[in-house]
Amino acid sequence: MELIFEISKSGRSTADVPASDVPAVNIENTIGGKYLRNELDLPEVAEIDLIRHYTNLSRRNFGVDLGFYPLGSCTMKYNPKVNENAAALPGFTGLHPYIDERSAQGNLQLIYEMQKYLCAIFGMAEFTLQPAAGAHGELTGVMIIKKYFEKKKQKRRIVLIPDAAHGTNPASSALCGFEVMELRSNSEGGVDIEHLRSLMTEDVAALMLTNPNTLGLFERNIEKVAAIVHKKGGLLYGDGANANAFLGKVRPGDLGFDVIQLNLHKTFSTPHGGGGPGSGPVGVGKELVDFLPVPRVVKKDDKYKWSEKFPDTIGRVRSFYGNFNVVVKAYTYIRSLGAEGLKRATEMAVLNANYVKEKLKPYYNLPYGRICMHECVFSGSRQVAENGVHTTDIAKKLIDYGYHPPTIYFPLIVPEAIMIEPTETESKETLDTFCKAMIAIAKEAKENPEGVKSAPVTTPVTRLDEVLAARKPDVCCKR
């Protein structure tokens, strides 16, 4: 397809600008010639061309509304439309962040109640909604941990992170000046308790744990893990990326987690927008409430207001109050589902994942055979060994069957990993046809491996040269 710059023609435009109803001033005199730009190089396109350009681009994109999207760890559930309509209400979209609090009582109430609901769901003492995404929430969580030890006048240098963890965990720790030590997984995919014992010293600030972990397995020894960390004065951090696995079943706060971050764009159904916006609330236990970012909403005599009067706060991590409009969608979701609905969502998510796991088990290696939670992780190692077909080939072939591929090559501890997260909003029929496709691909890998390796063939472009893209980067069109 042509670039927007390639369809540009001098003299065209889509958006017009009204004539001025106030006297024009001489810009050069008012601002000063040396501060003004000489050229403005933007595309010039008529409205119909602009609409066709972006509409045609959209047709080269795949979203949940088009089909099954079992991207593991990303919880690509259906994004309910009522959420979008609620969030589009002018009362929510139209307020300036610095409007006086009395004019923003609806927003403040929503934020306040959302925090309370999240506390109830996750068993934490308090939440902040300021972080703009999951990784931002992690960073905020680790900052809170840093502040906690600063306040206690303890210098702890290390954060422990399991080998199966998301890459954001070590990156977030490093951004707070911590040294990262890797914690091994045991043979059943859980924390290697002995290794944890040996690493857990008084130099360790925290263990960052994803539970269920990235293998989709619940940490059976969680009580022991929490005890080992706490005994040495450390804190237990929970990466809530996989929270869709346990709503209404167990609460991280009850399990001993001191800090958790969520991803509203995963568990709470807000759309991911092709890469964002997300929202990454952080919940903390009682001992850490004072360190939360400011401002925080406080309620007094049924009135809500912002307060910055928290001297031990880490400060701000974002301007204003976070991705408010994303929070509106998640709030709508919680209110429309209620406690029962949230629990049913988790139950159906876990049922779906186990169903897929059972159906595909005979055809793909399953490194950990236990009951899984909301996602299951296969390995394409058999297809590599027997047919020279790699996981990436299987993923690309799935595209030709009309699916978005699962997450691949993650977690790193599973070779040729295929991580499938169906989510609760998919029907048995969808899972059945998906499994049929996966089985057909396993068969084709044996009989006609080249057919798998040449996929996809139904897309506007075939496999792209990523090496070229990195060696001779072209990230800005030069005309």
Partner 1 sequence: MDYCPHTPDDIKQMQAAIGIAGIEELFSDIPGKFRIKQIPDIPQALSELETMSMMSDLAGKNKLPQFTLTGAGSYHHFVPAVVGHITGRAEFYTAYTPYQAEISQGILQAIYEYQTMIAHLTGTELANASMYDGASAMAEAVVLCAKMSGRSKIIIARSVHPEYRQVVKTYSWANGYKVVEVPYAASGQIDLDVLQKKLDDQVAAVLVQSPNFFGVVEDVASIADSAHNKGALLAAGFTDGTSLGILNPAGSLGADFVVGEGQSFGNPLNYGGPYLGIFAAKEKFMRRIPGRLVGATVDKNGKRGFVLTLQTREQHIRREKATSNICSNEALCALAAGVYLAALGKNLKRLAELNVYKTQYLKNKLLELSGWEEVFPAPVYNEFVLRCSDARKVNKKLKKEGIIGGYELQKDYPELKNTLLFCATEMISKENIDKVIEILK
391-278-260-299 Cα dihedral, nearest 10 degrees = -170
**Residues near 111 by beta carbon (within 8 Å), at least 6 away in sequence:** 129, 297, 304, 321, 324, 327
256 Rama sector, left if φ>0, alpha if ψ -120 to 50, beta otherwise: left
The residue among 196 and 360 lying less far from partner 1, judged by its C-beta, is: 360
The residue among 447 and 473 lying less far from partner 1, judged by its C-beta, is: 473
CB of 380 to partner 1, least distance (A): 16
Contact with partner 1 (CB under 8 A) among 184, 232, 251, 382? 251
Contact with partner 1 (CB under 8 A) among 126, 138, 239, 416? 138
Total residues interacting with partner 1, rule: CB under 8 A: 199
Tokens of 392: 């990436």
Q: Which amino acid is at 442?
A: A
312-371 binders of partner 1 (CB under 8 A)? 314-326, 328, 332, 334-345, 347-348, 350-352, 354-355, 358-359, 370-371
Region binding partner 1 by CB under 8 A among candidate stretches 202-210, 229-237, 403-411, 414-422: 403-411
Contact with partner 1 (CB under 8 A) among 128, 172, 210, 261? 172
CA dist 367 and 350 (Å) reads 18
Contact with partner 1 (CB under 8 A) among 65, 194, 287, 386? 65
CB of 434 to partner 1, least distance (A): 14
Provide DSSP, 327-394: HHHHHHHHHHHHHHHHHHHHHHHHHHHHHHHHHHTTTSB-S--SPPSS-EEEE-HHHHHHH---HHHH
Among 236, 242, 142, which residue's Cα sits nearest to residue 183? 236
270-289 binders of partner 1 (CB under 8 A)? 271-278
**Residues near 420 by beta carbon (within 8 Å), at least 6 away in sequence:** 70, 72, 353, 356, 357, 360, 375, 376, 377, 378, 406
186-245 binders of partner 1 (CB under 8 A)? 217-218, 220, 222-223
CB of 235 to partner 1, least distance (A): 16
CB of 126 to partner 1, least distance (A): 14
Does position 175 bind partner 1 by CB under 8 A? yes
Does position 12 bind partner 1 by CB under 8 A? yes
121 with 342: CB under 8 angstroms?
yes
Contact with partner 1 (CB under 8 A) among 68, 70, 126, 134? 134
CB of 33 to partner 1, least distance (A): 10
Contact with partner 1 (CB under 8 A) among 300, 311, 447, 470? 470
CB of 300 to partner 1, least distance (A): 16
The residue among 326 and 438 lying less far from partner 1, judged by its C-beta, is: 326
H or E element in which residue 67 lies = none
The residue among 172 and 387 lying less far from partner 1, judged by its C-beta, is: 172
Query: What distances in angstroms separate CA 146 from CA 78, 153, 241, 294, one per listed residue?
Result: 37, 10, 22, 16
Among 99, 15, 92, which residue's Cα sits nearest to residue 50? 15
CB of 351 to partner 1, least distance (A): 6
CB of 136 to partner 1, least distance (A): 6
89-128 binders of partner 1 (CB under 8 A)? 89-100, 102-107, 109-110, 116-117, 120-121
Residues in the chain: 479
Among 156, 163, 166, which residue's Cα sits nearest to residue 181? 163
Region binding partner 1 by CB under 8 A among candidate stretches 198-206, 228-236, 445-453, 459-467: 459-467
Contact with partner 1 (CB under 8 A) among 282, 395, 438, 445? 395
